[in-house]
Structure 1
Amino acid sequence: MLQYQRTGSGRPVVLIHGLLGSHDIFSRVVPLLADEYEVITLDLPGHGGSPLADGVETMRDAAREVVDTLAAAGVQHPVIVGHSWGGYVLAEILGSFPDVPAAAAIIYSQPYADPPEKQRARTEAIARFESEPWDDVVRDLFPVYVADYDPPEIFEELIAITEQASVPGARFALTTIRDRADHSQTVLDHPEIPVLFVSGTDDGAMPPIPLDAPHVQHAETESGHMGPMTVPDELVRILKRWIAGLPSAG
């Protein structure tokens, strides 16, 4: 089971972090949501306080770990929010466990598979994590996740959070990202699950998302990739407005 934290009361909202992150990515978001909702944050396998269990190797395994943890915690039909890699995990949950989420917010992420050049870059990054000092690799790979106008301390905080992950965790995350399925059609095939995409105006890590359907909404923050850290108030306003318009839980 994954390590998780929960606070607040009301409709359950689950937050899933991204590559080399932990629940700490959402430290500014949680108190803003917990005044209205029960907020559950998870550490994905090999990240934060969650070990990478034997046999956990694929994106579907990551999704199953989330689903099993929520079931063990008694969390039923939550609104699930996935950031970056967490958005890919959430897209897999939509595909493999569509009865679990009441709604899905894929933030600073997208439902498409990696193109070949991105897959090659993931493989190269795995090799680097296995052969080079951790700090050297993350400081080389992570600048794309911050905008030019973000305070330098945001980048340093992000780097510090990555230190909670492990090399096997990094290999697992990058492998699942590299090999993930395209779930754009999955989103369209489940009109019973409302989906929100939140993008950053200056997110250099993510492509545009042209998906259009009655159950799909789009929003944008004035930010780079790390909106939960840099614009938590703006992000939470978007999430609360969207959640308020969802069908009642039950």
Structure 2
Amino acid sequence: MKQILYKNTLISFSVTGKGTAVVLIHGFLENQTMWKDLAPILSYKNRVITIDLLGHGATECLGYVHSMENNAEIVKAILSHLRIRKAILVGHSMGGYVALAFAELYPTTLKGLVLLNSTSKEDSTERKYNRNRAIKAVKKDYVGFIRLSIANLFNPDNRERLSNEIEKVRVEALKTPLQGIVASLEGMKIRKDREFILNESEFPKLLILGKKDGVLIYKDNLSQIENTNTELITFPDGHMSHIENREELGTVLIGFFKGI
């Protein structure tokens, strides 16, 4: 585990392996431990960087709103610290929003982009309303909010089979401070639509979706890649492809990296 100081805020990250730089960016209520099974496989032929986003894991809070741009800036700060000029970014859920913000801010630094259970679309009016409800809910019942939120990320058919894994995800989520949760919800709520990244950028792009994702409705997210050069991979399960479809995901990512 390494740290840098960015705007008087400690940012935590890890680096393993040698080769093409690959940055793995976790999602909401997660931290870099979510990549513990994939990182060793991916680092066999790549230099893998995992990061704790603002208010998650061992990274401190920067303020009361953590925008996707704020998080993209810490990713860039770490790459600059490591003297990495180009990298492939893999973002899970909120991490995908961060990767898209990075693509807009630092397009020449991006070698490839993977949106894992994520979307380039901005929040709908309904989603923004639900973010506000979530902010109220977590302030009222922190533990209850996290327990319910984590369960809903998995395909209902997998919840019994993966009960131990789900509990591990909950344990990590409970390490996220209230300020970090609220600041991230506020940041996701105000993020801009970035479908143009998938339409206009020339670097290789991959969208990975779960057919039974209860967070991002599958059919609603297909339109963003129509008439683009973005590759689509569909898994049969929920929002947590790195757990529900771990082996298949590893194979897909290795193949994507090889093609760049």
Q: Taking structure 2 as the reference length, what is the TM-score of the superposition?
A: 0.89
Partner letter of residue 119 of structure 1? K
**102-111 vs 59-68, which deviates more?**
59-68
5 Å-filtered alignment, 1:113-124, equals 113-124=122-133
Cα distance between partner residues in 1 of 2:209 and 2:66 = 28
1:167 equivalenced with 2:172 (yes/no): no
Q: Deviation at 1:213? A: 4.4
Cα distance between partner residues in 1 of 2:242 and 2:83 = 26
Q: Deviation at 1:214? A: 5.4
Match of 2:15 in 1: 6
**141-150 vs 81-90, which deviates more?**
141-150
1:209 equivalenced with 2:222 (yes/no): yes
Q: Secondary structure at the match of 1:110?
A: coil
Larger strand proportion, structure 1 or 2?
Answer: 2
Contact 2:147–2:170, Cα closer than 8 Å, also in 1: yes
Partner letter of residue 41 of structure 1? T
Q: Find 2:111's aligned residue among 74, 88, 102.
A: 102
Cα distance between partner residues in 2 of 1:57 and 1:202 = 29
Cα distance between partner residues in 2 of 1:27 and 1:136 = 26
Contact 2:65–2:184, Cα closer than 8 Å, also in 1: no
CA RMSD for the aligned pairs? 1.6
Cα distance between partner residues in 2 of 1:99 and 1:167 = 35
**81-90 vs 195-204, which deviates more?**
195-204
Cα distance between partner residues in 2 of 1:75 and 1:42 = 15
Q: Taking structure 1 as the reference length, what is the TM-score of the superposition?
A: 0.92
Cα distance between partner residues in 2 of 1:95 and 1:63 = 10
Q: Which runs of 5+ in 2 are unaligned?
A: 1-5
**159-168 vs 209-218, which deviates more?**
209-218
1:229 equivalenced with 2:243 (yes/no): yes
Partner letter of residue 136 of structure 2? A
Match of 2:37 in 1: 28
Matched residue count: 244
Q: Deviations over 1:16-59 (max 9, x none)?
A: 00001001111111111111211110000000010012486322
Q: Secondary structure at the match of 1:149?
A: helix
More relative contact order, 1 or 2 (CA 8 Å, 6+ apart): 1
5 Å-filtered alignment, 1:1-250, equals 1=6, 2-54=11-63, 57-132=66-141, 134-150=142-158, 151-191=162-202, 193-207=203-217, 208-210=221-223, 211-213=225-227, 215-246=229-260
Partner letter of residue 42 of structure 1? I
**123-132 vs 50-59, which deviates more?**
50-59
Q: Which runs of 5+ in 1 are unaligned?
A: none
Partner letter of residue 147 of structure 1? N
Cα distance between partner residues in 2 of 1:102 and 1:152 = 37
